[in-house]
Structure 1
């Protein structure tokens, strides 16, 4: 093949392919010690992302409204509406959507909490019974049962985001025409792929992979990590395939991939991981009892809502949650933001009363005393007067020459005229520069925050993500490439999995944060960048003062 006809892949494509190759060959590496510490960092980042999602739902009216609208756009009932029945079903649909969004948020928070607790116990057992193991030695009974219980927990947890995936994929905007509507025997609406979609080169790969994931026997024989690798191959094969998937579908794929990565790390503990399946069959009855008890501690039951009406105060209609955070500060903007925040607080007050008894029984890391940030009252900015330019009359050059000659004639001095009055002293002080619209607060006392030196471009990125005052310019968009470059300069490396989730891992501290890349576009809108900045601030304690310009 001539050199000109060889397609050139982008750096992101090459990095993704390289990572995929590393994961595929992980089963063939030499026996290694189970790295519970790195896996714990990974799970902790997932838990932190779930907690940040819950906080954003309670704090940011626009984020809350966007999540509801996005979930409602992926509801099967939305497609099945008829024009005559629409006014009757709108309220019921919003009630269902609100319950689903809140239930899934609590489920993700509790799921990763349970994984973290289980992994911490496994890490302690590994320190006691797994140090210095030889390949021919068998694992102790407690350690082998703990590994099997961990795999059992992860595979059962896989069912929850996978059920969400099966709900949101068929009615997603660009995949609706690939599925036909049918009514099951129990009266539920179900989507089945059409013959034309199965034969399509772009959509067929997604449908076939989903069918394999739906088959529990295939999942058991092949394994979740291998099937998710297959999904990776389908998504990386053609960019047109990725463009068919909505951001909600991509985030759900990221949740599935995160659980599959945990299973992969456990099965990479060879040759001892080969006995996990036999231990699962031997302990299945006891594991199932533990699962039912664990699930009740962090999964909201359907009866928790008591058929309450949440749409009256929670449906994002009639500008209820209009949050103009991307506009220039003004009294009107501040009042609109405070009104949206008050509406959100009213909704959560009603929702928490419905599930308060169940929340008391659940073991979640969410701080009940946490108070969301609220917009302060408007304060008129300091006036800034611009000096007027002197008026220059439009006269001819002859008049200017005559006036110049007349003014430069010899004139008597003050001593000659007897005027000995001293000149008037200045009482207003030296001239000062006009003050800024919003004054900069004085530096806080205490231990100074360690500075991170970055380039000018990265400094602008962090100023957009972590602002502490308004700079007078309207906010814009943040390109994904600029964000990745800024995080690299701050000491992080990126690691991608399936879906839109990207992990940033610090080289020294091994701290990790999970961020969803913008999809299908390559830029963050201002409100999305603001949410990422809030996540960085809470995770690492960063603010605008943390970063400084790198000296050249």
Structure 2
């Protein structure tokens, strides 16, 4: 159920944190530009260009001869020694990471403008030049390697983009010169680099300016200024590190050219990587090309997770109940009003309306996630194919092929639209989340049962610096206005993730559900950022999109029309009966799967499964009646596949088995199966009860399994799936610590041991110790595990438990089922590595 929540509470949160949201934005577009003559611009550009190429040539010669020595010496220096070198080369270097953000916070808190303030100009031109980052062992080395081995024009786009905050806050004001354009992209020598061209002197000059293929004179001068000082700084650092080498021989053949040393990638040896780390290192590396493989991987894993989520909602009663309870705790109805009263729908006699809304939200969200990430993954895969198709025609000096360019613009539009949807979810759920709920209040009449609410801060609360910082970043993300547009979502997410990783008190302010939404936003943000940094073409996308906007909007509407039908089918008024069945407070989904099988336990499991099946039978009928077969949807494709739900068979007394291995096999066989959705196996909805009898069982007699009963309908797709037994994966040998983790993930309920929690660090170790996966930390709580053995494709995402960092057994069991579906793993897949 879509809800409208006023963003005023977020603006108040900015004020609470001490940030005047309008202070540095007021009259932002009314700044006066300094004017310069063409002759003055040409002279300045000439001087700066010559200095740039002089420093670049020196740096290049140093790096091809001494890079290995520089790396070795820098690695041996302690922090004070590194800091001394940095400050000698750049006096007054800002102390903290992202000094431009720090300047915004300081000035905004004082209600001051940043407009053309010389005090902070340096911070906004070179936000990546700061002590906190460069004093690290690796950062300066990355910067030296990138700038010393690649010509300046390759960095012009990123150097200009680095000043984004300075431009939008008017802390940096470029000079103004009309009817001219500056050539930077593609120029490889000092004569052409920064060359000023009048519109009258070249037939394409005006087009280059309008499409942003080249630079406005003021923007170009700022790029030249940034590169001139940066390259001089790097040369000075090299000379200090190589202080014992005479300067007159530093770049001569007295030292022969050496092979480029390999760059160590963080997490390479351990199999653990971090999206936040990649984002932090990006300003110091060579700008990457459009990494569509990375995008396809992220979206493919998220699509798989969406499928598993919808599957688990249908299969696992306890998961279904937990998802409802978690969504309930983030509904705005949980907030008390200005008089301290609860929402009318939570009062006795009105709960059905609330639960109908809640069930509609949970189910609609599950379908929406699947549709969104499936479509984005499909488009990214198509982009990958088009990139390969047109690879011979992709040239930085030419326009992109039209087919390829249109696909990029379409993908960018879809990702942005879906990101806006996730931001709306944050606006709805953050105020009601348990860690922050006490700080917000509903401004609503006491008798209003509407789901549209005005949410505001209860009071101004002064917190710690970390809390204020977290609040400001969250609020900036969620204010649907100018602040987020100017600062940009990728920058805010980068800063938020950095803070959450560094400060536990910041992480404690986010519930697991909110952290998961931020994780989804990070994936979408990565998609958007990849396109925006696809230089030099990304500079032209805004102009080109204007001509294609109507067709792209129409395509988006048509693509997600089936999803709109699904959403409309799940309105609260039509879910009253389902709400009565699905209210988990009545303990209908109690599911003690971790307990040893007894007659009473088995009956409890079967009752919970029947209750869940009844709920989904009614939901399926409702959606089928209103949406038909949901053709052209990812949900239709998933539900029509011969994938099967596991169901507990009736209780039968068991004779003792001969061995634990036989016992494990019997437990695997003793399971009932039914279709994921009866509506998409050619079965009439009324046959859903009979469909529960579709099963694959083997009777147990004296511990020896007998032949399975013949299928009741050999021609059905379900029986085709059952008849085709997938080959078992090769055994995987792991250490005893990892084996204990996998034994819990694939727990045998007939075992005498009691399952316990799994530490998240142990789970990471177990997955990477198989030698099959690398682990990548995304934003929020999301981790991605991707095949790294080269023997096959596969990836899967899991959420790091929050805030305790422990995986309870019930969740570990779900992890095991997902790994079984994705890779065919079971308890028998793993063996303990023998010592010695």
TM-score, L = length of structure 2: 0.55
CA distance in 1, matches of 2:432, 2:426: 11
Equivalent residue, structure 2, for 1:320:
588
The structure 2 residue matched to 1:193, chosen from 454, 457, 469, is: 457
CA distance in 2, matches of 1:133, 1:181: 54
Question: Structure 1 residues 17, 244: closer, same or farther in 2, change over 3 A?
Answer: farther
How do 1:416-455 residues align onto structure 2 when only pairs under 5 Å count?
439-441=663-665, 449-455=729-735
Question: Structure 1 residues 217, 159: closer, same or farther in 2, change over 3 A?
Answer: same
Aligned residues: 496
Match of 1:87, SS? coil
How far residue 19 of structure 1 moved from its aligned partner, in angstroms, is 4.7
Equivalent residue, structure 1, for 2:360:
99
Q: Which has the higher contact order (CA 8 A, sep 6+)?
A: 1
The structure 2 residue matched to 1:346, chosen from 606, 614, 621, is: 614
CA contact (8 A) 1:198 1:208 kept: no
How far residue 94 of structure 1 moved from its aligned partner, in angstroms, is 0.8
Equivalent residue, structure 1, for 2:61:
none
Equivalent residue, structure 2, for 1:241:
506
Greater shift after overlay, 223-232 or 523-532?
Answer: 223-232
The structure 2 residue matched to 1:514, chosen from 785, 788, 797, is: 797
CA contact (8 A) 2:429 2:514 kept: yes
Greater shift after overlay, 333-342 or 351-360?
Answer: 351-360
How do 1:426-505 residues align onto structure 2 when only pairs under 5 Å count?
439-441=663-665, 449-467=729-747, 470-491=750-771, 492-505=773-786
How far residue 25 of structure 1 moved from its aligned partner, in angstroms, is 4.1
Question: Structure 1 residues 187, 376: closer, same or farther in 2, change over 3 A?
Answer: closer
CA distance in 1, matches of 2:656, 2:298: 50
Please say if 1:271 is aligned against 2:554: no
Describe the superposition over 1:291-310 as per-residue Cα deviations: whole angstroms up to 9, x where unpaired. 11112133445431362212
CA contact (8 A) 1:224 1:263 kept: no
Describe the superposition over 1:46-94 as per-residue Cα deviations: whole angstroms up to 9, x where unpaired. 0000000000000000000000011111111123353987113311111
CA distance in 2, matches of 1:2, 1:42: 36
Describe the superposition over 1:215-241 as per-residue Cα deviations: whole angstroms up to 9, x where unpaired. 444444443322211221332342111
Unmatched tracts of structure 2, length 5 or more: 1-77, 81-135, 137-265, 666-703, 708-724
CA distance in 1, matches of 2:742, 2:463: 46
How far residue 27 of structure 1 moved from its aligned partner, in angstroms, is 5.8
Question: Structure 1 residues 203, 188: closer, same or farther in 2, change over 3 A?
Answer: farther
CA distance in 1, matches of 2:275, 2:381: 27
Equivalent residue, structure 2, for 1:294:
559
Greater shift after overlay, 123-132 or 256-265?
Answer: 123-132
Please say if 1:60 is aligned against 2:316: yes
CA distance in 2, matches of 1:274, 1:134: 15
Greater shift after overlay, 135-144 or 240-249?
Answer: 135-144
How far residue 250 of structure 1 moved from its aligned partner, in angstroms, is 1.0
Equivalent residue, structure 2, for 1:160:
421
Please say if 1:229 is aligned against 2:494: yes
How far residue 367 of structure 1 moved from its aligned partner, in angstroms, is 2.5
Match of 1:188, SS? coil
RMSD: 3.2
Greater shift after overlay, 72-81 or 181-190?
Answer: 181-190
How do 1:505-544 residues align onto structure 2 when only pairs under 5 Å count?
505-509=786-790, 511-544=794-827
CA distance in 1, matches of 2:516, 2:541: 30
Please say if 1:136 is aligned against 2:375: no
Match of 1:502, SS? strand
CA contact (8 A) 1:31 1:271 kept: no
The structure 1 residue matched to 2:373, chosen from 90, 104, 112, is: 112
Task: Show structure 1 runs of 4+ deviating over 6 A.
Answer: 14-18, 184-187, 442-446
Equivalent residue, structure 1, for 2:710:
none
Greater shift after overlay, 290-299 or 309-318?
Answer: 290-299
Question: Structure 1 residues 29, 142: closer, same or farther in 2, change over 3 A?
Answer: farther
Match of 2:596, SS? coil
Question: Structure 1 residues 194, 440: closer, same or farther in 2, change over 3 A?
Answer: closer
Question: Structure 1 residues 27, 439: closer, same or farther in 2, change over 3 A?
Answer: same
The structure 1 residue matched to 2:630, chosen from 361, 379, 389, is: 361
CA distance in 2, matches of 1:255, 1:88: 37
Question: Structure 1 residues 497, 315: closer, same or farther in 2, change over 3 A?
Answer: same
CA distance in 1, matches of 2:537, 2:291: 14
CA distance in 2, matches of 1:201, 1:183: 32
Equivalent residue, structure 2, for 1:429:
none
Unmatched tracts of structure 1, length 5 or more: 4-8, 385-433
Equivalent residue, structure 1, for 2:225:
none
Equivalent residue, structure 2, for 1:378:
651
Question: Structure 1 residues 126, 440: closer, same or farther in 2, change over 3 A?
Answer: closer
Greater shift after overlay, 259-268 or 244-253?
Answer: 259-268
CA distance in 2, matches of 1:484, 1:261: 23
Equivalent residue, structure 1, for 2:442:
181
CA distance in 1, matches of 2:648, 2:465: 50
TM-score, L = length of structure 1: 0.82
Equivalent residue, structure 2, for 1:431:
none
CA contact (8 A) 2:734 2:770 kept: yes
Question: Structure 1 residues 497, 2: closer, same or farther in 2, change over 3 A?
Answer: closer
Question: Structure 1 residues 111, 322: closer, same or farther in 2, change over 3 A?
Answer: same
Describe the superposition over 1:373-413 as per-residue Cα deviations: whole angstroms up to 9, x where unpaired. 101122323259xxxxxxxxxxxxxxxxxxxxxxxxxxxxx
How far residue 30 of structure 1 moved from its aligned partner, in angstroms, is 3.4
Question: Structure 1 residues 512, 447: closer, same or farther in 2, change over 3 A?
Answer: closer
CA distance in 2, matches of 1:334, 1:515: 29
Greater shift after overlay, 286-295 or 331-340?
Answer: 286-295
CA contact (8 A) 1:467 1:543 kept: no
CA contact (8 A) 1:118 1:150 kept: yes
Match of 1:127, SS? helix
How far residue 140 of structure 1 moved from its aligned partner, in angstroms, is 1.6
